[in-house]
């Protein structure tokens, strides 16, 4: 849409959504309303995060454990509650699912039901909260199966098990030095910065593109002894830098807040790996498919990057359970394609690089 790219500066999120909706004259506006409600939840979470120890959300660490066996922080729980409260009443949703809830959340009887599903990680990177490092919220919007909309039947886990390619929209909020909201409604990726004076998300990054090439990678190298050979090979070659087959030096980053890594990569390129590994056979990967890998994958693909399990495009994966974990690789297209190629090549390579050599630091 030429008028969208021509003069989008300082549009509010509301205006951006209305301009996008003009592509679909029949659209009801429900999706826009839903995204605005999500953005309101994110603004509320941003406020709480910004209060830090001055607020009560970081106070005594709760003993609660979520369905993944991870300790829930009060802020995880509060963020989840905010997502629910800001979205359940609107009539836009048929149901919700989140990292912090074992089962899908039904819309209370008191409220009308709508045609969308909202799936979210209310607070990603929450181990970083105590140390004042960026965290965020990630969301994915799917269509509810038609029969559930027609009959109003209770939603089941199976209703949410849709491949990432079926997402109608996805995005995240980043609670960093500035609060940002990054969104795709399937027509590229746009970034908005929270104007604290207006309390509005304002379009500051109208057409985010991930560079195809990079010399920056992100992986938790403490897991290196659990990596599969293609991942070892890839990282070996990055570390060998200009002395190895890559012929250029690489830099490394690890924030331990995937949403912040995704944002860096959307802004300037790079590649992120949390691959499938052998650390815990019960967990094929660390990150979750439905509310981490798929929405971030959707954004990457919409921005010209790529997202993969290492073996296949992430958005083609048919989910098998609500809280399924999966190996995740995303970012600059050429690097992700290289990693996929390594996964498909037979493992006949002689190790060439220093990381796993006999006297190396990370010898496995
Ligand atoms: P969450 O806080 O929602 O549980 O997710 C944390 C994730 C992700 O953000 C990050 O990339 C990863 O966990 C960090 O893993 P390590 O602890 O292995 O570094
Ligand atoms: Mn997370
Ligand atoms: Mn989380």
Q: What is the mean pLDDT of the chain?
A: 92
Q: Is the pLDDT of residue 84 over 70?
A: yes
Phi-psi region of 72 (alpha: psi -120 to 50; beta: other; left: phi over 0): beta
Q: Is the pLDDT of residue 303 over 90?
A: yes
Tell me the average pLDDT across 114-123. Answer: 98
Tell me the average pLDDT across 254-263. Answer: 98
216-351: CATH number? 3.40.190.80
Tell me the average pLDDT across 260-274. Answer: 98
* Domain residue extents for the chain: 13-205, 216-351
Q: Which residues does residue 218 pair with via DSSP β-bridges, in sequence order?
A: 272
How many CA within 13 A on the CB side of residue 211? 11
**pLDDT value at position 70?**
72
Rounded Cα distance between 333 and 300, Å, is 9
Q: Of 72, 127, 137, which is best to mutate to test ligand 1, by the most ligand atoms within 8 angstroms of its C-beta?
A: 127
List CB contacts of 79: < 8 A, sequence separation 6 or more: 41, 45, 48, 100, 122, 123, 137
Regarding the beta carbon of 136 and ligand 1, being less than 6 Å apart is answered no
Rounded Cα distance between 239 and 252, Å, is 9
Listing DSSP states for 140-175 in one string gives EEEEPPHHHHHH-PPP-HHHH---GGG-SEEEEEEE
CA distance from start to end of the chain: 52
Regarding the beta carbon of 126 and ligand 1, being less than 6 Å apart is answered yes
pTM for the structure as a whole = 0.92
Q: Is the pLDDT of residue 352 over 70?
A: no
Regarding the beta carbon of 286 and ligand 1, being less than 6 Å apart is answered yes
Of 2-16, 85-99, 173-187, 214-228, the least confident: 2-16
pLDDT digit string, tens, across residues 147-197: 999 999 999 999 999 999 999 999 999 999 999 999 999 999 999 999 999
All residues with CB under 5 Å from ion ligand 3: 99, 121, 123-124
- Atom 11 of ligand 1: nearest residue by CA position: 258
13-205: CATH number? 3.30.540.10
Q: What percent of the chain has pLDDT over 90?
A: 86
Distance 101 CA to ligand 2 centre (A): 13
- Atom 2 of ligand 1: nearest residue by CA position: 125
């Amino acid at each position: 849409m030429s008028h969208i790219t021509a003069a989008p500066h300082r549009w509010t999120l509301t205006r951006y959504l209305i301009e996008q909706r003009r592509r679909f004259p029949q659209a009801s506006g429900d999706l826009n309303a839903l995204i605005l409600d999500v953005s309101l939840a994110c603004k509320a979470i941003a406020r709480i995060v910004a209060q830090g120890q001055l607020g009560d959300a970081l106070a005594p660490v709760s003993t609660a454990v979520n369905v993944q066996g991870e300790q829930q922080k009060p802020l995880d729980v509060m963020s989840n509650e905010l997502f629910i409260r800001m979205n359940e009443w609107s009539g836009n949703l048929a149901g919700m699912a989140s990292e912090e809830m074992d089962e899908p959340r039904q819309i209370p009887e008191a409220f009308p039901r709508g045609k969308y599903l909202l799936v979210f990680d209310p607070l990603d990177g929450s181990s970083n909260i105590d140390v004042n490092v960026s965290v965020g919220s990630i969301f994915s919007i799917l269509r509810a199966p038609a029969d559930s909309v027609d009959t109003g039947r209770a939603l089941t886990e199976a209703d949410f098990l849709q491949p990432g390619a079926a997402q109608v929209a996805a995005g995240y909020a980043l609670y960093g030095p500035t609060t940002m909201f990054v969104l795709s409604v399937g027509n590229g990726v746009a970034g908005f910065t929270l104007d604290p004076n207006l309390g509005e998300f304002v379009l500051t990054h109208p057409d985010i593109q991930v560079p195809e090439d990079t010399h920056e990678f992100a992986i938790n190298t403490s897991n290196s002894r659990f990596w599969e050979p293609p991942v070892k090979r890839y990282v070996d070659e990055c570390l060998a830098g200009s002395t190895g087959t890559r012929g250029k030096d690489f830099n490394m980053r690890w924030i331990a807040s995937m949403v912040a890594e995704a944002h860096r990569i959307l802004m300037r390129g790079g590649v992120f790996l949390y691959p499938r590994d052998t650390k815990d056979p019960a967990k094929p990967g660390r990150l979750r498919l439905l509310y981490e890998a798929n929405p971030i994958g959707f954004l990457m693909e919409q921005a010209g990057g790529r997202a993969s399990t290492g073996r296949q495009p992430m958005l083609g994966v048919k989910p098998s359970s609500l809280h399924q974990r999966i190996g995740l690789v995303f970012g600059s297209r050429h690097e992700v394609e290289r990693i996929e190629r390594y996964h498909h090549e037979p493992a006949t390579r002689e190790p060439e690089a220093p990381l796993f050599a006999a006297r190396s630091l990370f010898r496995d």
